[in-house]
Structure 1
Amino acid sequence: MNVRLILLRHGQSLYNLENRFTGWQDVELTETGCHEAEGAAKQLKNGKIDIAFTSALKRAQHTLQIILDSCGLQNIPVIKNAALNERSYGELEGLDKAETAIKYGAEQVHIWRRSFDVAPPGGESLKDTYERVVPYFKKAILPELLKGKNVLVVAHGNSLRSLIMFIESLAPEQIVVRELATCVPVTYEFDDEKLKDLEVR
């Protein structure tokens, strides 16, 4: 049995455009973000998708809805859960990234953004995000793959990097430099053996 897991970062959001820390702020897609979602739909149109997962944030939900509508998949199950939310940036959320670098120092902001286990004030590190996302993957998403279903997950840069770290067995120093473009599908093919390996990890 071969199944597919497709990971997709949402389209450009308003805060992406304005270069602000977004985190759990529930901002919408820009017009560009909607077009990016339509572009992703064209890439996914010919592949079978049986079930979709997304976060509790509307930029991911809206991206998924555009894809489902464009691909004629309005009837597949959609599971929304905050476990797939973006990493929380705590007190930095909503702040302009350049202004934040002036306020706290560029080196400190770089550490908050790019270290694995250092959290910004009141927020989550990537390690914290990993410890939220991966148990949810094992509890809710992996069982669907084990049933032979092809799964689409539309979420966020850091929640998806957490999943990629788990799936690819990456070290912290490898995942912190991994970039995920908006609305570019990352696809994994699993056979029974690979699924069992994920199950026992």
Structure 2
Amino acid sequence: MSINLYIVRHGETYFNFLHRFQGWSDAPLTERGIQHGLDAGLRLANLHFDGAYSSDLTRAVHTARYILQNNTVDSPLEPTQLPDFREQFFGSFEGIDSEVVSTTLNAFKSEPFESYSELIKNYGMPDAMDTLHLADPFSFAETDDKWTQRVQHGFADIRDRHNDGDNVLIVSHGTTIRGIAEKLGHHDFASTPVTNGAVMQIELTPDSTTLTNFNDNTTIF
């Protein structure tokens, strides 16, 4: 059995534009972000989706609706919301300027870095998540273990819902998409920021999860 996942990063939000950590906080899509969703929908327009999902955060739900709006082959019109595919929770750093967060996190590492992306590149996604949790004075930020447990539960849920050959749309978030790539053995992919509206393809079987395409915002599927 093989389920074909098309995991799309949501469109640009005002927090993205302002370079603020977003996580479980929410900000509306910018005009450009709406276009990211519509453009992704055009690239995916000829794929019939047997299931369409998004995280339960507004930016993902709205992006999924824009994608499905452009679908031409009788796919669902409304995404089912799955909280398991939320962004990493940044705890006390939610809504904070990214440069301020990076300055704070540098105090916990021996080698300096300029951004959260560079922290991921230098130390790996699990270490970056755990460093954020360590730096959070209230310990709200999600650890790698907690993040992994919920995303694994999300994949198990998709396996239970779908059959061999199904195409499945999931609209998720940049750090979660990078974290999935890292867990699947692609640190090189995880080190790269995900473009708004870009597609990651995964082949899901009962016993394996295989990444076949990453950060693709050009292919017409």
TM-score normalised per structure 1: 0.80
1:144 aligns with 2:161: yes
Of residues 200, 215, 219 in structure 2, which corresponds to 1:186?
Answer: 200
- Could you tell me how far 1:98 is from its partner in structure 2? 1.9
Where do 1:96-135 residues align within 5 Å?
Answer: 96-102=97-103, 104=104, 106=106, 108=108, 114=120, 115-117=125-127, 118-120=130-132, 121=136, 122-135=140-153
Q: How many residues align?
A: 190
Q: Which residue of 2 aligns with 1:91?
A: 92
Q: Which residue of 1 aligns with 2:18?
A: 18
Q: Which residue of 1 aligns with 2:205?
A: 195
Say if 1:39 and 1:181 are closer, same or farther in 2 by CA, change over 3 A: same
Q: What value does the CA root-mean-square deviation take over the aligned residues? A: 2.7
Unaligned runs of 5+ in 1: none
Give the Cα–Cα distance (whole angstroms) in 2 for the partners of residues 64 and 3 of structure 1.
19
Q: Contact conserved, 1:52 with 1:152, CA < 8 A, in 2?
A: yes
Give the Cα–Cα distance (whole angstroms) in 1 for the partners of residues 126 and 53 of structure 2.
25
Q: Which residue of 1 aligns with 2:213?
A: none
Where do 1:40-119 residues align within 5 Å?
Answer: 40-72=40-72, 75=76, 78-102=79-103, 104=104, 106=106, 108=108, 114=120, 115-117=125-127, 118-119=130-131
Report the identity percentage: 25
Give the SS at the match of 1:71: coil
- Could you tell me how far 1:76 is from its partner in structure 2? 5.1
1:27 aligns with 2:37: no
Q: Would you tell me which structure has more helix in proportion to its own residues?
A: 1
TM-score normalised per structure 2: 0.74
State the one-letter code of the partner of 1:146: N
Give the SS at the match of 1:161: helix
Offset from partner CA, 1:97-150 (integer Å, 9 cap, x none): 123344x26464959652413242120134432221112211x11233435421
